[in-house]
Amino acid sequence: MEYQASKSPGLNALITPETDFEKQILNDPDVIAGLQWGFPRFGHPEGKVMFHVKEIFDNIDSINTNPELRRKLRILALVHDTFKYKENRKLMAKDCTKHHAHIAYEFLSNYTDEQDLLQVVKTHDDAYYAWRADHAYRDPETASIKLTKLMKENKNHIDLYYAFFVCDTRTGDKNQSPIRWFEEKLNIKDKIKI
């Protein structure tokens, strides 16, 4: 399969697919548009989503992992934030289908039925939201509810969720406290070193 994203020189120079599945995803016009979207902002000083994905790829390269986990982490990296350009911030508080994670879930479900990938992409920001409820909003009850829901939804693949959460959070100028908080809640300590 030819890699069509080569029509976008900046993207092609930055992200090189390793598998046919990655090529297939990267050939999608919505993915190409989404990877090129973005502007410097808090948590994402790199701006465009493609630069964030490259940072996550670099993190994945730096951890000791098996080929199957690497494959899954790279797929998650490619799609998790790619649909931010389609989300509707005004409506997503009342309608979760307008959130970029849900849009990414819908997109990925057209390519795979791997439930671990689908669930992690749909909930990839939820550990951060639970931490934020606890620390920023001083609402430990809501944080506990969010964390319990996250753990239930990802119970069969929490290691994948955790690995991706670390690779995603150790980018840009993101606050690292959510990782420590999540590790404490899972009763693990620095399991992944980046």
pLDDT for residue 114 is more than 60: yes
Which pair of structure tokens corresponds to residue 83? 């649909």
CB atoms within 10 A of CB 118: 17
In a domain? residue 192: no
Range of the domain at 158: 4-186
**Tokens 């993915």 correspond to what residue?**
31
Mean pLDDT, to the nearest integer, of 124-150?
Answer: 96
What is the rounded CA–CA span in Å between residue 79 and residue 116?
A: 14
Which one has a higher pLDDT value, 130 or 13?
Answer: 130
Domain count, the chain: 1
pLDDT reported for residue 191: 72
Query: What SS3 class is residue 61?
Result: helix
Residue 193 lies in a domain: no
Residue-level pLDDT at 43: 85
Determine if the pTM surpasses 0.85. Answer: yes
Cβ neighbour number for residue 64 with a 10 Å cutoff: 7
Q: In this structure, is residue 149 part of a structural domain?
A: yes
Q: Does 93 have pLDDT greater than 70?
A: no
**Residue 181 above 70 pLDDT?**
yes
Question: Is residue 130, in this structure, part of any structural domain at all?
Answer: yes
pLDDT of residue 9: 67
In a domain, 194, yes or no: no
Identify the CA nearest to 56 among candidates 181, 174, 182, 183. 174
Residue 128 domain flag = yes
Residue 87 lies in a domain: yes
Q: How far apart are CA 78 and CA 121, in angstroms?
A: 10
- For 8-27, what is the mean pLDDT? 90
Q: Is 110 part of any domain?
A: yes
Nearest-angstrom CA–CA distance, 125 and 170:
14
